[in-house]
Amino acid sequence: MQLAELIEQTVVGLGYDLVELETSPRARLLRVFIDRPENVRAENQGITVDDCAVVSSQLTRVFMVENVDYDRLEVSSPGMDRALTKEADYRRFAGSEIQLKLRVPLGNQRNFRGILEGLKNEDGAEKVCLRVEGTLHELALDNVDRARLVPKF
């Protein structure tokens, strides 16, 4: 089993969502970002230090059993500028302001900031619907390099 699959299976089994996994070269540092699933998340209820400790403890045990060689494990909340990494994230955070960077520019533009209106399936391809200054852009999901929520203070 691949490391990412092992981590996701463990995190999901504990009742959390795996938002993102960052690894250093040769996986010496493992940085795991977790969140509560949409259906259990109450308003303003984020990830606590206790949640991170539970996941960290369980992953440490799983890594011992599976002989995963690493130096350091960090488990954290995704933060206010949470990354959108899965199709479900684009549906869940519809109505939120996001920053998005494309792999291949659309016209001369790679970076967009606007209100996420969700996903649209067109001819079998998912498109991110993003309203920027009143104009609706439909951007191919497979062309999105990275996308993050814009924090509101």
Taking only the tens place, the pLDDT of each residue in 46-56 is: 899 999 999 99
Q: Is the pTM of this model over 0.85?
A: no
Residue range 17-67, pLDDT digits in tens: 999 999 988 768 999 999 988 766 555 578 999 999 999 999 999 999 999
Residue range 92-140, pLDDT digits in tens: 999 999 999 999 998 899 999 999 999 998 888 899 999 999 999 999 9
**Fold of the domain built from segment(s) 3-76:** GMP Synthetase; Chain A, domain 3 (3.30.300)
User: Which residue blocks in the chain are alpha helix, DSSP H?
Assistant: 3-13, 49-66, 87-92
- DSSP, collapsed to helix, strand or coil, labels residue 26 as helix
Q: What's the mean pLDDT when you consider all of the chain?
A: 91
123, 71, 130: which is closest to 99 by C-alpha? Answer: 130
What are the E-state strand segments in the chain?
Answer: 17-23, 29-35, 72-76, 97-106, 109-122, 125-132, 135-140, 144-149
Domain covering 87-149 in this structure, CATH number: 2.30.30.100
What does the domain layout of the chain look like in residue ranges?
Answer: 3-76, 87-149
